[in-house]
Structure 1
Amino acid sequence: MSVTTVPAPAGTHARQNASPLAAVEKRLLVWIAQRLPRAIGSDHLTLLGLLSMLGVGLAFAASSRDSRLLYLVPVLLALNWFGDSLDGTVARVRNRQRPRYGYYVDHVVDIVGAVALFSGLALSGGMAPLLAMALLVAYLAAMAEVFLATHVTRVFRLASFGFGPTELRIVLAAGALALVGRPTVGVPGVGRVALFDLGGFIATAGIVCAFMFSAVRTALALAREERIAP
């Protein structure tokens, strides 16, 4: 597993990505950013990322009427990756960074996108609405912990347990394609359950574990750094 760290301008934070695709993705994003027309700026890419994630939520919601709309999800997620992953890279390549503005806007957009995504899942008929909302709460709590940890450690960790945003998009795209047929899976002692219900339960449990692990790790690190002498 590769770990990529993007140095931070003075007074801001460094970005750290410890996911399997991080190194390859970074090289690809820099290559694209160097060849992107100058008329396309970071704000345009951020808007593309937001609109495409709103589209993902709408596609999931509308799939309750026509499951074939789920075929749009991988395309929209690819557009979301392009916009959301490339906006900061373009700013760095062009030396047009606005660290506080970029950090704030990116994560407001992430919150709106998460609400759209999980609301769409709740309306899709493929996942129990209560489970989708539990997943949203867990995800927002994990995001809040990351934002707090970034503030106190000056390191923004994009991945947890080897999963970063790109890996999550790949899993979600594969799940959307599998959801077209509304598949079910057998669970010992329970019977057959919807695939996305099982996936949602596992994802919620995983996010809660990641939240607790990161919170404890950061708290212990801060306690060591700010130890009070007897």
Structure 2
Amino acid sequence: MIPAKDVQPLARVQDNLLARQERRLLTWICARLPAWVTPDTLTATGLAGAVMIFAGYVLSLIDIDWLLLSIAGYAVHWFGDSLDGSLARFRRIERPSYGYFIDHSCDGLAVLLILSGLGLSPFVTMDVAMAALAGYLLLSIHTFLSARVTGELKLSYVAAGPTEARLLLVGMTVTMWVMGRARASYSGFTGYDLIVGAVAALLISLFVIQTVRTGRRLARIDRL
């Protein structure tokens, strides 16, 4: 086991569309958070937001207005998930090994809650939601393997990152709330299935493309 003090920090690569504006906002918030708010508190807050999203989607089977809980959950999830690492860096209290492990473990659980909630809702079929989950997990595997062999933690792809993904899901959820329950079309799939399925296909394609690119890059390095 590598001692925590010997773990080298990863270079964070984040070039999504909203990265610069979001960074300014996060820094402004960090400067105003009370001392009792810790990175661990924010990580737990982000996970609580994911539980809210899951519950809202599932309860929309009973009443569509429960989708408002999911929309609120996305805001809570963004607040906790985006600020936990930002606060640690702002206060210079980073714990690289612990923070990396806990943060990304909670991210995986949060995505599972969000996509399984979508699959249990009356809007998206579970098969399509699980395809999106598979795409997310494949791209996560690439990200973590690439971080190990290149020292770079890539947090965005095709100018999109977690914040852009949340905004897409919020927009889709608002549309669900406004338009009402989905009706099957396109060989039994809904329009929401097509959107989530397209995202799943994009994630899987990115995994394949990035794996090939990184493999070629590493092959050149190893030959040298």
**Residue identity in the other structure for 2:119:** A
Q: Say yes or no: does 1:178 pair with 2:175.
A: yes
The counterpart of 1:220, out of the listed 195, 216, 222, is 216
Deviation of 1:59 after TM superposition, in Å, equals 1.1
Q: Partner of 2:204 in structure 1?
A: 208
Q: Distance in 2 between matches of 1:54 and 1:192?
A: 29
Q: Partner of 1:102 in structure 2?
A: 99
CA contact (8 A) 1:132 1:200 kept: yes
**Residue identity in the other structure for 2:204:** V
Q: Partner of 1:5 in structure 2?
A: none
Which runs of structure 1 show a deviation greater than 6 angstroms over 4 or more consecutive aligned residues? none
Deviation of 1:214 after TM superposition, in Å, equals 1.3
| 1:16-165 mapped onto 2 (5 Å cutoff) | 16-165=13-162
Of the structure 1 ranges 161-170 and 61-70, higher mean CA displacement relative to structure 2 is found in 61-70
Deviation of 1:174 after TM superposition, in Å, equals 0.7
Question: Kindly tell me: are residues 191 and 122 of structure 1, through their superposed partners in 2, closer, same or farther at Cα, counting changes over 3 Å?
Answer: closer
Deviation of 1:184 after TM superposition, in Å, equals 5.6
Equivalenced residue count is 217
Deviation of 1:102 after TM superposition, in Å, equals 0.6
Q: Distance in 1 between matches of 2:183 and 2:201?
A: 20
CA contact (8 A) 1:149 1:155 kept: yes
Deviation of 1:14 after TM superposition, in Å, equals 1.2
Structure 2: runs of 5+ lacking an equivalent: 1-5
CA contact (8 A) 1:182 1:194 kept: no
**Residue identity in the other structure for 1:102:** G
Query: Helix, strand or coil: the match of 2:47?
Result: helix
Deviation of 1:195 after TM superposition, in Å, equals 2.0
Deviation of 1:10 after TM superposition, in Å, equals 7.4
Query: Helix, strand or coil: the match of 1:35?
Result: coil
TM-score by length of 1: 0.89
Larger strand proportion of the pair: 1
CA contact (8 A) 2:125 2:189 kept: no
**Residue identity in the other structure for 2:181:** R
**Residue identity in the other structure for 1:218:** T
Q: Distance in 1 between matches of 2:89 and 2:126?
A: 40
Report % sequence identity: 35
TM-score by length of 2: 0.91
Larger helix proportion of the pair: 2
